[in-house]
Amino acid sequence: MLVVILSQTLGGLGLAAGITVGALIAQEILGTDNLAGIPSAIFTLGSSFAAFMFGRLTQKNGRRLGLATGFLLGGMGALGVIFATAVENIYFLFLSLFIYGFGTATNLQARYASSDLAEPQDRSKAISIAMVATTFGAVVGPNLSATMSNLAITWHLPPLTGAFILSACAYLASGILWFVFLRPDPYQVAKVLQQEKNMSEKIVPILDKRALFIGALIMIVTLMLMVLSLLLTTYLLITFMKKDIR
C-alpha cells in the first residue's frame, strides 16, 4: 500500500503540466492560438491508447511491469516535450505529448493496485486512500510552477518547460518505484488466490447481464463527462490566450 501511495503522489505531481501548458507551448511555437486544441486531442488520444495497451499488459504480466512501463514512457514523453520546446519542433512536440499521455492513463490505473489484495469490504477504502494521495500531488505540483520555471531558465530552457521537468522526474521516479519495490506482484497473487478459491468451492462464473449493462453505462457517462471537461478546459484556455494577445 505504501508503494501505491508514494506512486500516486508522484503521479499527481506529474499531472502538473498536463494539456494546458502543452497548449501554451504549441501557441508559442506556431505563433497562433488557432490550433491550441490539438495538444489536448493528442494528449487524450495517447491516454486512451495507453489505457488499452497497458491494461492488456497488466492482465498478462501483472501490475509491476504494466505500471512501470507506463510511467517510464510517460516520463520519456515529458522529456521529449522539453526537447521539442527547446528546438521549437511542433511535430516532435505532438509526438511527445502523445507519449506523455501514457503517464496520465497509467496513474489512473495504478490506484487499483491498492485493492488487489484488500478484503472485499475494504477495497473502496483502499482506492480512496490512493486517490487522496493523487490529489495531494496534484495540489502541490502547481505550487512548484514558479520554482520549476526558474530552474528551467537556469538550465537555459524556455520557462514553460519547467512544468514538464517536474512531470518527467515524477513519472520516471514512479516507474522505478513500481519496478523495484512492487514485489510480489499483487495482481498476480490475487489471481492465484482467486483461482484456488474457485477450485476449492467449485464456483461456476455466471455472467450478470444487468451488472454488465450498468457498468458499461457508467463508463460511457464517465467518458462523456471527461470529454466535456476537456472541451471546457480548451475553450477557457483559448479565451485566455486571445485576451492575452489583445
DSSP-assigned states of every residue in 17-75: THHHHHHHHHHHHHS-STTTTHHHHHHHHHHHHHHHHHHHHHHHH-HHHHHHHHHHHHH
Burial of 236 (0-12, 13-18, 19+ CB in 10 A): exposed
Mean per-residue pLDDT over the chain, rounded: 79
158 pLDDT higher than 60: yes
Residue spans of alpha helices (H) in the chain: 2-14, 18-30, 38-61, 63-87, 90-110, 123-143, 145-154, 162-181, 186-201, 209-245
Confidence of residue 229 (pLDDT cuts 50, 70, 90): low
Residue percentage of the chain with pLDDT more than 70: 76
pLDDT tens-digit profile of 32-46? 777 777 887 888 888
pLDDT, one tens digit per residue, over 97-149 is 999 989 888 888 887 777 776 777 777 777 777 777 777 777 777 778 788 88
| 2-205 is a CATH 1.20.1250.20 domain | yes
pTM (predicted TM-score): 0.79
Grid cell for residue 204 = 461456476
The residue behind cell 486531442 is 41
Cell numbers that stand for 101 in this block? 499521455
Give how far Cα 200 sits from Cα of 121, 174, 188, 225, Å.
Answer: 22, 38, 19, 42
